[in-house]
Amino acid sequence: MANQPPPLTGREQTFSDTQLIVTKTDPKGIIEYANELFIKVSGYSEEELLGKPHNMIRHPDMPRGVFKLLWESISSKRELYAYVVNCSKNGDHYWVLAHITPSFGSNGEISGYHSSRRAPNRKALDVIIPLYKQMKDEEAKYSNPKEAAQASFNFLRRILEEKGTTYEKFIYAIELNKN
Ligand SMILES: Cc1cc2nc3c(=O)[nH]c(=O)nc-3n(C[C@H](O)[C@H](O)[C@H](O)COP(=O)(O)O)c2cc1C
């Protein structure tokens, strides 16, 4: 779904290492729950958030390829860790390391998704920001959004192959600052 971000301020918001930003969604990514910190950092009221697609906080610097990886993982019942930059209502941005997992109903089917986000290791962002920029540059070669997402997804896969690692190991290593 198309989402128009507010004019960006370039100002970064941060939050403490001990805090968690939490949301829950239905199987389509519609926000059903937001904790107090999410409401505070996003700048939206609970009423503005509930019932809205999660892409309402999407930041234009986020590569489509990361969201492709996200949805492919969670809809296949696998958890995913991802660095995400989000956009607040006032155009500020904030970085998170998100852990996104499916929740299951009594029939074993996916009943929704859950995301817990904490403040990222700042040194990890020194790796992630240029990587996402390269992924965005790759996407800029395509006018079709699906092709763009596939291209930057492939780009990420190539980079990981060259490094001889997997996505999970890569994220773990940069968060522990062992890249
Ligand atoms: C539980 C959950 C949490 C999500 N959290 C975020 C988030 O914090 N920021 C974001 O941009 N997208 C988040 N998404 C992904 C969005 O649903 C969406 O795929 C993404 O914003 C890309 O939107 P677009 O395809 O319209 O560009 C989340 C999805 C789920 C299921």
* pLDDT over 90 at 115, yes or no: yes
Residue 7 lies inside a defined structural domain of this protein: no
Any idea what the CATH number is for the domain that residue 76 is in?
3.30.450.20
Residue with structure tokens 């780009």? 155
Name every residue whose Cβ is closer than 8 Å to that of residue 122 and which is 6 or more positions away in sequence.
none
The pLDDT of 147-151, averaged and rounded, is 98
Residue 62 lies inside a defined structural domain of this protein: yes
So what's the pLDDT on residue 178?
Answer: 54
Neighbours of 144 (CB within 10 A): 9
Share of the chain above pLDDT 90, in %: 93
Residue 37 lies inside a defined structural domain of this protein: yes
Residue 99 lies inside a defined structural domain of this protein: yes
Backbone phi and psi for residue 54, each to the nearest 5 degrees, phi listed first? -65, -20
Residue 13 lies inside a defined structural domain of this protein: no
**Ligand 1 center–CA 114 separation, angstroms:** 11
**Ligand 1 center–CA 39 separation, angstroms:** 16
Backbone phi and psi for residue 95, each to the nearest 5 degrees, phi listed first? -95, 145
* Alpha carbon distance 120, 1 (integer Å): 28
Residue 83 lies inside a defined structural domain of this protein: yes
Residue 125 lies inside a defined structural domain of this protein: yes
- The set of long-range contacts for 106-111, using a CB threshold of 8 Å and a minimum separation of 24, is 110/27, 110/74, 110/75, 110/77, 111/27
Out of 21, 67, 116, give the residue to mutate to test ligand 1, the one with the largest number of ligand atoms within 8 Å of its CB.
67
Number of domains in the chain: 1
What residue numbers bound the domain in which 125 lies?
A: 21-175
So what's the pLDDT on residue 64?
Answer: 98
The residue whose CA has the least distance to atom 10 of ligand 1 is: 58
* Alpha carbon distance 52, 138 (integer Å): 29
The pLDDT of 67-83, averaged and rounded, is 97
**Ligand 1 center–CA 49 separation, angstroms:** 13
Mean pLDDT taken over the chain:
95
4 pLDDT band (50/70/90 cuts)?
confident
* pLDDT over 80 at 177, yes or no: no
Residue 114 lies inside a defined structural domain of this protein: yes
User: Quick check: 142 and 148 in contact, CB under 8 A?
Assistant: yes
Whole-angstrom CA distances from 68 to 35, 39, 120 are 25, 25, 21
